[in-house]
Amino acid sequence: MQIQTTTTPQLDWTGDALAIGLWENQTELTGKPAELDAKLSGVIQELIAETEFLGKVNTTAITRVGGNNSHIRKIILVGLGKPEEAKLDTVRRGAAAIARVAKQAKIKSLGISLPVIQKDPKHTAQVITEGIILALHVDQRFKSELENGELKLTTVDLLGLGEQAEAISKAEKICAGVILARELVAAPANIVNPVTMAETAMQIATESGLDLEILEQEDCEKLGMGAFLGVAKASDIPPKFIHLTYKPSGTPKAKVAIIGKGVTFDSGGLNIKGVGSGIETMKMDMGGAAATLGAAKAIAQLKPEVEVHFISAVTENMISGKAMHPGDILTASNGKTIEVNNTDAEGRLTLADALVFAEKLGVDAIIDLATLTGACVVALGDHVSGLWSTDPQLAEEIKAASQLAGEKFWQMPMEEIYFEGLKSPIADMKNTGPRAGGAITATLFLKQFVQNTPWVHLDIAGPVWADKDNGVDNAGATGFPVRTLVNWVCNKE
């Protein structure tokens, strides 16, 4: 599928289907849509009336254009909501809705005419491209037969945006990273494990010229990574500590680290997840690591002038005679001791040693992202990630990057008094606190492993998976928050 801009106006564009965006309650056409409607003998106004199309966000309507002499065969309408509420994600989601309709209608050549948002045709072209690609992505790797056949859509023309080849190319590279993250998260634990995650990192490094360091178990032992290795003890598959580095050709304008939780399957350990706990979905507990590798793939292609370290301590959390017990005491690589009062709070143990490792690199900022707590899902639901930070400026940078990405975050409090619930009579801390404020105490636990570097923690437990199609996300793994991470890094140039 080729996505490109064209200077051909609406009235003259030729192809299978032309899609136009309409604002909410725009029942009487004006301007260019009215001219197009007149040329098409009133078919657009008739479609609006017949379907009672009101232009509400993400609503669509499609009809065939009569007559053999018509320059297009079909018209697609997409609702954009209220114009005063429009933002870049409005047209991204609109493009996704158009793409799904075009796929269902077996369109081969598609023209899209959506409004320029914030007088910014470059970013408008970028997000429209993202919407198309991500909505059309279908992961059928494990099906013996394709359910929907091959995609018919071969060309997409973006109208009224000028020449935007660079913006479209950028979107394609970002989407490649999102799709990698989606497919890693969606794959079962018998396919994606610590070894294959390391192989994926190796493939990215080989293809893009990145530096790669894989620490094996004995390497981690020498570095004193007792928290990470405590989780890894029960698995027959060896743990892998992945450190992938992108370096620009010139002097970097910043040096940052992105750390993703990489538990490729979480049984809960000896505190095993019970019936109805969703244990069958715990293949996605490496969503943070998947997004980290997805961001690495995109950033390696975009080549910003920023040095980025992509880090993940990857393991399974399993059950065996070697498993860590509730009550065990682990020593992390910064010397902190941890009483394990719940083996199902394992992700923070792996992140602890990864945070210590990252800070020793002397980076300017650290972001960690993890499917860390059910408590965050209870607080913010399935579409919003929790954000905690020790640095107000860094928090604002992430929020700004998320606005362009169309990914939602909500800053949560770092309530220090809640650390009282993590205190242990026999160690420096426990790995879990009381039920109340569980996402906050998890963050305060992680905070013990970052001394001076500006740091953001993202609890992405909700948004990494979608139960049904929503915006650019199809049901299943979403690739959240690759777009935000890439935007953040590129914004630091």
Count of structural domains within the chain: 2
Return the closest-CA partner of residue 449 out of 289, 179, 225. Answer: 225
CA distances from 74 to 77, 443, 444 (A): 10, 52, 56
Does residue 33 sit in the same domain as residue 86? yes
Q: What is the pLDDT of residue 277?
A: 83
Asked about 100 being catalytic, the answer comes back as no
Does residue 153 sit in the same domain as residue 178? no
Q: What is the pLDDT of residue 165?
A: 98
Beta strands 240-246 and 211-215 are antiparallel
Q: 23-61 in b/e burial notation, b at 16+ Cβ within 10 A? A: bbebeebeeebeebbebbeebbbebbeeeebebebbbbb
Per-residue pLDDT of the chain (493 residues; tens, 9 = 90+): 999 999 999 999 999 999 999 999 887 888 889 999 999 999 999 999 999 999 999 899 999 997 667 889 999 999 999 999 999 999 999 999 999 999 999 999 999 999 999 999 999 999 999 999 999 999 888 987 777 667 799 999 999 999 999 999 999 999 999 999 999 999 999 999 999 999 999 999 999 999 999 999 999 999 999 999 999 999 999 999 999 999 999 999 999 999 999 999 999 999 999 878 889 999 999 999 999 999 999 999 999 999 999 999 999 999 999 999 999 999 999 999 999 999 999 999 999 999 999 999 999 999 999 999 999 999 999 999 999 999 999 999 999 999 999 999 999 999 999 999 999 999 999 999 999 999 999 999 999 999 999 999 999 999 999 999 999 999 999 999 999 999 999 999 8
Q: Global pTM?
A: 0.96
CA distance 105 to 123: 28
Q: Which residues contact 334 (CB under 8 A, 6 or more apart)?
A: 356, 449
Domain encompassing residue 16? 2-159
Q: What is the pLDDT of residue 276?
A: 81
Q: Which of 39, 87, 173, 273 is catalytic?
A: 273
Asked about 233 being catalytic, the answer comes back as no
Establish if 133 belongs to a structural domain. yes
Establish if 126 belongs to a structural domain. yes
Establish if 107 belongs to a structural domain. yes
Does residue 178 sit in the same domain as residue 125? no
Does residue 155 sit in the same domain as residue 176? no
Does residue 125 sit in the same domain as residue 195? no
Q: What is the pLDDT of residue 140?
A: 85
Does residue 67 sit in the same domain as residue 216? no
Q: Which of 73, 93, 233, 348 is catalytic?
A: 348
CATH of the domain at 394: 3.40.630.10
**What DSSP state is assigned to residue 155?**
E
